[in-house]
Amino acid sequence: MSKITFAIGGVHPDDAKLARGCAIEVLPLPQTMYVSMAQHLGAPAKPIVAVGDKVKTGQVIAEPGGFISAFVHAPASGTVKSIAPRKDLAGNNVMHVEIAVEGDEWVEGVDLSDTLVTEIPEDRAAILDKIKACGVVGLGGATFPTHVKLNPAPGSVAECLILNGAECEPYLTSDYRIMLERTKEIIVGAAIMQKVLGGCRTVIGIEENKPEAIEAMGKALATLPYKGIEVLPLKKKYPQGGEKQLIQAVMHREVGSGGLPISVGAVVQNVATSLAVYEAVQKNKPLITNTLTITGNCLPVERQHNYLFRIGMPLSYIAEYAGGVPEGAAKLVSGGPMMGRAIANLDAATVKGSSSILYLSEASTRRGQESLCIRCGRCADACPMGLEPFLLRRLYAAGDLEALEKNAVQDCIECGCCLYSCPAYIPLLDHIRQAKGQVMAAIRARAAAQKSNTKQ
């Protein structure tokens, strides 16, 4: 039993990894794909193709729209049918490039073979360029452009690269499956990132409810020539995969409020990102695929799947391919049940960060009737950031932004532990997220005002 985990708060939901035994299957291409221009953190990408253009699989169809942004590539070959707003999974209009799929003809220079390439290029800048050109973003949820994260500001030193294989969200098994099936590729990806960061210590953190993955990683590491990479089994606790929590569990250091992981010498990357880095650098393959779990408590076990999907496939297409929405599904979630987003529009297209279609039954997901706070303090016990959600909610209701900031509402990581554990079903996080937004805006406004003052 591993005792290594983060220190404050956390909850223990049933892990329900129902699809853990399902090997990854490749989804066939649909007739039409819709590639979102906003599938990464930061500025949306700018389309560089025109309606009627022929595109090949892997061809760049959009350029970064800012410093924090990413390239987007065609997920299949075909014709650009339209470039227009289309509703995303929340029902909001987002610019999409629609591609009428005509085949799967790849662009030149991509290594499509299965051979493992263990030789790592020497040139650090070239590696970063490749990662950027292939549109790699963090696949752990935040979809932050990877090349930015791997290139810390001058003066800061990466002491430890942490590979996030915690997959602490219940139900999700896509990371688990790639750790089993693409073990060596992930390790090579880690070695590449290790090299970019200057050869720091590298830790692959895996929760101990995935012993097969821990074992597979350990065995693969023994056969590969890289130094300074280790596997660290972690005690199962949500939200272990939270960046700050994982750093604390592994390095016993706490990232300060508003600080970046690099401030304590840490860089965290998801295992799926590591795989994408491997494919980009060693195979020259852009990020147009990812793994997605079809699971849920109202889906029969034989209908659970782990799929390798192409970015831009509509969720409804994948759901139909897997036999349709099961009876008894009351809520559809993209992502895990703790932090995922409810799907309001199943016709929405998959994006780089898509990790699941989760079907939840009414009994398991419907919120209970809200009642009065009994001051049991469970929310405060559960909060992994050490906040007091009951207090923050009260302050938000009173509109006291100053007190909210003093009580660190801006540190909230929106993990959902407070609402998960509230016996009175008070929508704590719903309100705290609003409060956080307002306080962050006030902090930014203050910083901007200060900046302009110092300039004068």
Which stretch, 8-16, 101-109, 305-313, 440-448, contacts another protein (CB under 8 A)? 8-16
Cis peptide before 239 (omega within 30 of 0): yes
Neighbours of 359 (CB within 10 A): 25
Stretch that binds another protein, among 29-37, 48-56, 62-70, 361-369 (CB under 8 A): 361-369
Q: Which of 111, 230, 320, 362 binds another protein (CB under 8 A)?
A: 362
DSSP secondary structure letters along 165-227: E---SSS--HHHHHHHHSHHHHHHHHHHHHHHTTS-EEEEEEETT-HHHHHHHHHHHHHS--S
Q: Which is nearer to another protein, 171 or 317 (CB)?
A: 171
Chain positions 13 to 32 lying near another protein, rule: CB under 8 A, are 13
Residues of this chain, 137-196, that bind another protein according to CB under 8 A: 170
Query: Which residues within the stretch 373-392 sit at the binding site for another protein (CB under 8 A)?
Result: 373-378, 380, 383-388, 390
**Nearest distance from residue 39's CB to another protein, in Å?**
17
User: What whole-number distance in Å separates Cα of residue 173 and Cα of residue 205?
Assistant: 15
Q: Which of 396, 336, 388 is nearest to 360 (CA)?
A: 336
DSSP string, 89-106: TTS-EEEEEEEEEEE-PB
| C-beta closer to another protein: residue 273 or 421 | 421
User: Binding of another protein at residue 344 (CB under 8 A)?
Assistant: yes
Q: Which two tokens stand for residue 99?
A: 């591609």
Which residue carries 């929760």 as its tokens?
207
Binding track over 93-112 against another protein, x by CB under 8 A:
x-------------------
List 56, 81, 87, 184, residue binding another protein (CB under 8 A):
87
Residues 268-307 interacting with another protein (rule: CB under 8 A):
none
Instruction: Report DSSP letters for 281-323, one per residue.
Output: HHH---S-EEEEEEEETTS-GGG-EEEEEETT-BHHHHHHHTT
CB of 258 to another protein, least distance (A): 9
Token output for 41:
């953190």
Q: Does 332 bind another protein (CB under 8 A)?
A: yes
Which x/- pattern over 417-436 shows residues binding another protein (rule: CB under 8 A)? Answer: x-xxx-xxx-x-xxx-xx--
Closer residue to another protein (CB): 225 or 368: 368
Instruction: Find residue 74's DSSP bridge partners.
Output: none
Tell me what percent of the chain is helix, strand and coil, each rounded to the nearest 5.
Answer: 30, 20, 45
Query: Biggest alpha carbon distance in the chain?
Result: 67
Instruction: Indicate the pairing of strand 160-165 with strand 201-207.
Output: parallel
Q: Which is nearer to another protein, 63 or 362 (CB)?
A: 362
Interface with another protein includes 357 (CB under 8 A)?
Answer: no
Q: Per the structure block, which two tokens stand in for 372?
A: 């009065």
Q: In the window 310-329, what residues touch another protein (CB under 8 A)?
A: 325, 329
Span 189-248, contacts to another protein by CB under 8 A: 244, 248
**Least distance CB 30 / another protein (angstroms):** 22
Read off the tokens for 73: 């590539």
Of 64 and 384, CB closest to another protein = 384
Residues binding another protein: number (CB under 8 A): 73
